[in-house]
A and B are shown apart, each in its own frame.
Chain A
Amino acid sequence: MVAAGWLSKDVAIIAVPIVTLILGLIIGWLGQRSGFCSIGGFRDFFMFKHTRLLFGYLALIVGAFIGYLVFWLITPSAFTNFFWLLHNGLMPVPGAPAGLTVAAYVILAVIGGIAVGLIGVLLGGCPLRQCVMTSEGNLKSLWFVIGMCVGAVVYTMWISGWGVALLKAAGIA
């Protein structure tokens, strides 16, 4: 169920790489200047009671909500599923087939979240921070980014299918 935005479909198809590249340039610049990091925000808060980065992440959630709300008022057609849960139930996990049960999505979110938090703390940053550190000349982060590229292929080739099969065999999905 894809709604129309401001741009027509033909223009949007050409605009996808251009707009996202510009967005990435801006986020990369801002991230390098501020040291923005979500997992680092949680870590600093629980270890040192520093709230600087944590408020940055909370501001992202608030900013997204404000942005969606404002643009939804201007162009409702681009945000037909705003307040997602009211319209659609649960948002499908990308890569996995849509239409799993609620319990399956929650289990996936909990397993993934714990692992992501653990790895992020032990290796010193969320993916955005690792990308920014790569650009600042950190070779360890470069290997992290390479690992992310490998992991993407590994996940889509094998794990997403197996994971769904396992969940179905366990009677959850």
Chain B
Amino acid sequence: MAETKADKNEKVSCLDTLAKNPLYVGLAIGILAALVQVLLISAGGPEAYGFCVACHTRDVVNVAVNDIAGTKLAVAAISQNAILPVLTVIGVLIGAFISARYYREFRAKTGKAVSYVWYLAGGIFFMIFALFMGGCPYRLGLRIGYGDVVALIGVIAIIAGVLAGIKIATALAEREG
């Protein structure tokens, strides 16, 4: 991320310097996910489930749909047993919003109507394929730490997909430019 001049002039706290480095953020997320497993595994549910954007969104949405429409969509045991499902994604949205407001980085960015359709379709397919794989890249990371080899294969497949995506993106950029 490029730092603006306003950022450099601000008084920088030690904690914020750590929070700006992905290295420490990654370590913190991994250890916090393990701590969450210690605290919450008695509620049931899969292991290595501390943090996953795809699965936790799935749990929240399915519990909401089950409550509203009376369906019986599959939900992880930890969300099914508890009084409310895992709220990690809601927390991420609120936490990032508070942080963006606090550091004055909140800016409304709009796009063309066509791009909204692309992002909507991208979100749908992303979620479907992420659930095929058994979680978003973060849960794959947690599963690798937990000793699951399939997650490692999944990450290698992600790298292959990224390489293909880079080729497509550069081809599109050359055609337009």
Contacts and interface: CB of A to CB of B under 8 A. Distances in A.
Given A126-B136, A148-B123, A16 B162 contact: no
B123 A151 contact: yes
B141 A57 contact: yes
Interface of B: 1, 16, 19-48, 50-51, 53-58, 61-62, 65, 71, 73-74, 76-79, 81-100, 103, 105-111, 115-138, 141-151, 153-166, 168-169
Contacts of A121: 161-162, 165-166, 168-169
B138 A128 contact: yes
Contacts of B135: 94
B122 to A, nearest CB: 5
A91 to B, nearest CB: 5
Among A6, A14, A68, A159, chain B packs the most CB atoms within 10 A around the CB of A68
Among A81, A83, A95, A114, chain B packs the most CB atoms within 10 A around the CB of A114
A35 B119 contact: no
Shortest 6 CB-CB contacts between residues of A and residues of B: A24-B91, A147-B123, A117-B161, A28-B95, A63-B30, A113-B157
A105 B135 CA distance: 13
30 contacts: A12-B40, A12-B43, A13-B82, A15-B40, A19-B40, A27-B29, A28-B93, A28-B97, A29-B99, A36-B22, A56-B23, A58-B26, A60-B30, A62-B26, A67-B34, A70-B34, A79-B38, A109-B133, A109-B134, A110-B154, A115-B129, A116-B126, A116-B161, A117-B160, A118-B168, A120-B126, A131-B96, A150-B123, A151-B126, A151-B128
B164 A114 contact: yes
B89 A24 contact: yes
A105 to B, nearest CB: 5
A22 interface: yes
Contacts of B50: 23, 64
A113 B154 contact: yes
A145 interface: yes
A17 B86 contact: yes
Interface size class of A (residues with CB under 8 A): 35 or more
B131 A9 contact: no
B41 A5 contact: yes
Contacts of A91: 46-48, 134, 143, 146, 148, 150-151
A27 B161 CA distance: 26
B122 A123 contact: yes
A2 B87 CA distance: 21
Contact of A68 (B34, B96, B108, B120): B34
Contacts of A42: 158-159, 162
A172 interface: no
A111 B132 contact: yes
Interface string A135-173: 111111101111111111111110110010000000000
